[in-house]
Amino acid sequence: MLNVGLVGAFAVAKPHHHVTVPTSGAASVVGVTDAGEPSGMAPPPAHILPGFVRTYVNDFSGSSVPSGWDVYSGVPGGDPGGQFGSGHVAVFNGELQLSAWSDPAYGGAWVTGGLCHCSLSRTYGAYFVRVRDTGPGPTAVALLWPVARVWPPEVDFLETDGNVTSSTATAHWGSSNNKDQNSVAVDLTKWHTFGVIWTPGQLSYVIDGRVYATVNRADEIPNQPMTLDLQQQTWCLSSWACPSSPQALKFDWVAEYAFAGSPSVDVGPMLSTNLTSTEAQQIQALATDAADLHCNSIALTAYDPAGIAGGRSTVTLVAQTLRHDLTARGATVAVSEHVVKRWRGLHAALLYPSGHRRQVLGRACAK
């Protein structure tokens, strides 16, 4: 059977997988007091946020960029006046530092640093960074970027636009790049913990444990694998975010959390005999969650109220794809298949998005 129980203080609020992030939980995700850390705070514990489990943490204690991170180089997309340089990314003194300066190696142009945690992606989760800026000039950005490299979507949960007195959080969505933007006043020359909590029904933007803005519209919320990216960028040709002196963006640590609620996966019409790329990505995301959370089983349920032939073949196709993805990850997880004609009670509220008549749903860590 499907595991329809929710973790901690989560509750079903809308029929399209909406869950409410408990403010008390988010308030804990600031860090742990530690005088030995550059920011005075060590990363938060693994189970501090109800409904999530920490799956990655790095406090940059080494002397080189950690394994799994890819450093940017070249001209940023959409900004022909900008320039990323690998030499502008460094790890030392317990910090990851992105530095902007007028670089003679690039003809005196203002060059900045950036990198992505491209080796680890997921659909839904929570991301927190402990960060400060040395001064105004280049814009500082911490964001989620789609693995498919088809933009949008994009979720910027820290973006300074070149100043050190405020930050914006922006959800980009739709083919015409629609934006939902929120801002918060903050002294960015001091250490702060910025974060985003991303569930199927909500984006919650967090600073120092305070949820200061949320996004609840389903079409604005990404539902595909994303990665964490950290970067500086100049926009001198556009007459903003242009430095007048060298500046550095410093990260004490990053912490990434998996969404332990492991969302349902809608993989399309029951009569389909092939999987679209989006459906394959959704199945891949479910496999990733199952492997990360060390699940013992996954339940796939085909919803077929009319009893149309083809339901069993579709759920079997999904199961085969899922088993292949799990095997590739070295995960041993039992995958069960069901076809039902109706949902009752919480099943309907949690797992049946409006507008879909026949579908296959999956849930990691089924019990």
Q: Which residues of the chain have pLDDT under 50?
A: 1-24, 262-271, 343-359, 367
If asked whether residues 31 and 126 sit together in one domain, one would say: yes
pLDDT of amino acid 123: 86
pLDDT digit string, tens, across residues 210-264: 999 999 888 899 988 899 999 999 999 888 999 999 999 999 999 999 887 644 4
> How far is residue 108 from each of residues 23, 125, 214, measured CA to CA in Å?
47, 40, 41
If asked whether residues 283 and 240 sit together in one domain, one would say: no
If asked whether residues 72 and 179 sit together in one domain, one would say: yes
- Token digits of residue 176: 């015409």
Cα gap 298→133, rounded to integer Å = 44
If asked whether residues 234 and 325 sit together in one domain, one would say: no
Is the distance from CB of 288 to CB of 280 less than 8 angstroms?
no
Burial of 64 (0-12, 13-18, 19+ CB in 10 A): exposed
If asked whether residues 168 and 228 sit together in one domain, one would say: yes
**Which residue segment(s) compose the domain that 224 sits in?**
12-259
pLDDT of amino acid 59: 96
If asked whether residues 145 and 239 sit together in one domain, one would say: yes
The residues, ordered by sequence, that sit 6+ positions from 81 with a Cβ below 8 Å of its Cβ are 234, 235, 236, 237, 238
If asked whether residues 176 and 306 sit together in one domain, one would say: no
Could you tell me the CATH number of the domain that includes residue 326? Answer: 3.30.360
Q: Closest Cα partner for 140 from 71, 65, 245, 241?
A: 241
pLDDT of amino acid 174: 92
Bridging pattern class, strands 297-303 and 334-340 = parallel
Of 225, 259, 293, at which residue does a domain stop? 259
CB environment 221-242: b (16+ within 10 A), e (fewer): bbbbbbbbbbbbbbbbeeeebb
If asked whether residues 92 and 180 sit together in one domain, one would say: yes
- In 84-138, where do the E strands start and end? 89-92, 95-103, 109-111, 114-116, 125-133
pLDDT of amino acid 266: 46
pLDDT digit string, tens, across residues 203-225: 999 999 999 999 988 889 998 88
CA atoms within 13 A on the CB side of 91: 16
